[in-house]
Amino acid sequence: MSSSKPTPAAWTIENFLEVKNGQLHIDGVSAIDLGRKFATPLFVFSEARIKQNIERLKKAERVIGCPLKICYAAKANSNMAILRTVKEAGSDLEVNSGGELFKALKIGFKPEQIIFNGTSKTEAELESAINAGIYAIQSDSLYEIELTEKVARRLNKKANVSLRLVPEIETNTHSGLQTALLTSKFGMMPDEALSAFRRWHDAEFLNLCGIHLHIGSQTPDAEPYTEAFKTLFENLVKIYEETNLKLSHINLGGGFPVNYLRDEAQAADFPHAQQELFSATLEPSDVLQKAWRGVKEVAENAGAAHLLENITLLLEPGRSVIADAGICLTTVCNRKERPLQNPKIDLTESKIQSPKSKIQSDVWLLTDAGFNILLSMETYKWYYQLISAERADEAHDFPYKLAGPLCDGGDVYFDIEGQNRLPDYRQLPENVQPNEILVLLNCGAYSIAQMFQYNGRQLPAIVLIKETGEVKLIRKRDTFEDLLTNDLF
């Protein structure tokens, strides 16, 4: 028997993002109802999805031969209710500042669940971390290890320290998201790390217990992880040979990608060089299985397998936990028409016919969601798929110029100045008018964590849909008074 049901759009995710009566529903709740009730722009998160994403990462433990410690990267999104959800899902936490450490302890992470990264930790931050007794302070330089020892000595407490390496591993991600190259600002060279282990392996106030690296964000393929894991292991062996020290953990960082471009129908007019990056799909357990096998082989050949025996593997996923668990509702506030722009795109590169063939003039839609709440759209020209929440089942094939509300020419959702990162047009159903509610997908990571009140814009409300179906306000919208909070006048 053939079903008459139309195939769902490629961006839908069963039991999470679905279309009912033409409207987008998230965890069964109508996005339109949420937009009307809480006003837009509005971020909506799914507790169930966050938990599934963490489960997916945890699954990797079954395919490797050691315990896995997942430390969610707080910088991706550190709203307190989100941190609580992550904690309840059984994840530990990676923090990057005294502020994030404060939030972590406040929401109830235990010290042994917390690791602390950062290039510029202050004495006060180190003091809080040592006093709390966290799992590892991840040192970024020889200078910082000295500083950590000084603070630990003053407090008469031993500090757990792991060393961040910069191993010269290149990935295919956006250049601003590469972090394991000598041209990046992070970490220390393996030789420096080795000298640190020689100097401090039996220090009274330092417990050098691990090594760490983070190759970058939205890493589209598995090889750099295998390479990174091997690098960590080679260093582990050297450290053992020179100091007899067996490390208790190695930390492979974060960077698992999210597929921002699942809907290829929306990829028309999309710069090809960016397609691979935005449509990356890696299964963390496959990546780790490969990496583990590679390292095990090296270990066995070198007669060093015993060094893997009591080791814990740490991961620091941010994006892969929270990006697709959050969406942003925005309302069209204005519409205008302009003569067609000169085509900049190279049609020979595009397999799909240019959407321009359909239109006589450029239709502009101005929304209420600017780069002050989605900064990556400006800094990295990041792509977030846009759909009509009210007409989610209609064909999204009419090209529009989309822009946010800010008094800033860079506040647009398309490619400017030939940077070729974003499509020239965004596709939505025909005849979108003011007041229609649109939704940006995959907005959970590096969005609300980076928002600011540029142009006197009130920061948006955030809701979390609980597994019970309850819709919980987890951040209230700023009032005008909030715009004055810290000004003295």
Ligand X SMILES: *Cc1c(COP(=O)(O)O)cnc(C)c1O
Contacting positions for ligand X (CB under 6 A): 73, 75-76, 94, 117, 214, 217, 253-256, 316-320, 445
DSSP string across 198-254 = HHHTT-SSEEEEEEE---BSS---SHHHHHHHHHHHHHHHHHHHHH-PPPSEEE---
- CB of 120 or CB of 431, closer to ligand X: 120
Tokens of 281: 């799909």
Tell the smallest beta-carbon distance from residue 257 to ligand X (Å).
8
Tell the smallest beta-carbon distance from residue 232 to ligand X (Å).
14
Asked if 293 and 233 count as a contact pair (C-beta separation under 8 A), the reply is no
Asked if 114 and 106 count as a contact pair (C-beta separation under 8 A), the reply is no
Among candidate residues 441, 341, 357, the one with its CA nearest the CA of residue 401? 341
Tell the smallest beta-carbon distance from residue 112 to ligand X (Å).
19
Tell the smallest beta-carbon distance from residue 189 to ligand X (Å).
17
Tell the smallest beta-carbon distance from residue 445 to ligand X (Å).
6
Angstrom distance (rounded) from CA 204 to CA 186: 27
Tell the smallest beta-carbon distance from residue 254 to ligand X (Å).
3
SS (H, E, C) 139-170: ECCHHHHHHHHHHHHHHCCCEEEEEEECCCCC
Tell the smallest beta-carbon distance from residue 231 to ligand X (Å).
15
- CB of 277 or CB of 445, closer to ligand X: 445
- CB of 78 or CB of 217, closer to ligand X: 217
- CB of 171 or CB of 427, closer to ligand X: 171
Angstrom distance (rounded) from CA 239 to CA 196: 10
Tell whether omega for the bond before 224 is within 30 degrees of 0, i.e. cis: no
Tell the smallest beta-carbon distance from residue 219 to ligand X (Å).
8
- CB of 276 or CB of 337, closer to ligand X: 276
Tell the smallest beta-carbon distance from residue 207 to ligand X (Å).
20
Between CA 316 and CA 445, with CA 11 as vertex, the angle to 5 degrees is 30
Asked if 91 and 70 count as a contact pair (C-beta separation under 8 A), the reply is yes
Tell the smallest beta-carbon distance from residue 273 to ligand X (Å).
20
* Tokens 């990056």 sit on residue: 277
- CB of 178 or CB of 420, closer to ligand X: 178
- CB of 247 or CB of 445, closer to ligand X: 445
* Tokens 């041209």 sit on residue: 183
Angstrom distance (rounded) from CA 187 to CA 145: 12
Angstrom distance (rounded) from CA 280 to CA 36: 34
Angstrom distance (rounded) from CA 335 to CA 184: 42
- CB of 210 or CB of 317, closer to ligand X: 317
Quick one: how many helices (H) and strands (E) in the chain? 12, 20
- CB of 64 or CB of 93, closer to ligand X: 93
- CB of 364 or CB of 380, closer to ligand X: 380
